[in-house]
Structure 1
């Protein structure tokens, strides 16, 4: 029985590392923040957050914002401010280089204030 307990404790850690904190079968760039599923894509000089509800339906992002603390090249911390970009998307410019993965801690805010935070570790698309 002890082996099963150890395995049960390990499974959430594996899910975090592979699916960004939520065992979703999508791209692996999604994280649960509050009641929302938030995906992060970094392409060129822009980071995009996509927000869906617990039924995987797009959420109008007009009333949302987000801040991300990102680990830039040389372990320098940079802050991004995301704003609405139409539909269920928030965007922020990325004007600094990163080493390897794009590692960010995102705080999502709605009309009532902070909804929670999520950690991302994604491959940027060049």
Structure 2
């Protein structure tokens, strides 16, 4: 069998697996943006001065937010970098107050931690909605 045919057969064999992996992804339940952080999925939502991070496990189940903390490095108005602490608020949500102005989209790199161990980072670019 030629190399081209072997590649074609391999590509066709993998295509159902790729389609299944894409079908597994879900939309943002709370209207924000979902990013993979470590083995978790985290949705960032910004409404007015409230930033909320909803955390799900790899089976898309809510996790206990009391076991997590997060820090968001945010690009504020005038290209100034600000730090926002996100703390457990309820169920699977961490939250914090945005006490600085942001131009356009809310651009942030979120570091998720469990205890003092870093789980991973996610980059977000979300719209700020009014309440």
- Work out whether the TM-score is over 0.5: yes
Change (3 A) 1:112 1:81: closer
Runs of 4 or more, structure 1, over 2 Å off, are none
Residue 112 (structure 1) shift: 5.5
Query: Equivalents in 2 of 1:123, 1:31: separation in Å?
Result: 15
2:35 counterpart of 1:31: yes
TM-score with structure 1 length normalisation?
0.78
Gaps in structure 2 of 5+ consecutive residues:
5-23
Aligned to 1:41: 45
SS at 2:78 equivalent: helix
Aligned to 1:90: 94
Aligned to 1:106: 110
Count of matched residue positions in the alignment of Structure 1 and Structure 2: 105
Q: 2:56 aligns with which of 36, 52, 59?
A: 52
What's the CA shift string for 1:50-75, capped at 9, x where partnerless?
00011110001101000000000110
Query: Equivalents in 2 of 1:85, 1:31: separation in Å?
Result: 20
TM-score with structure 2 length normalisation?
0.76
Gaps in structure 1 of 5+ consecutive residues:
2-22
Q: Please report the RMSD computed on the Cα atoms of aligned residues, expressed in angstroms.
A: 1.6
Query: Equivalents in 2 of 1:37, 1:104: separation in Å?
Result: 16
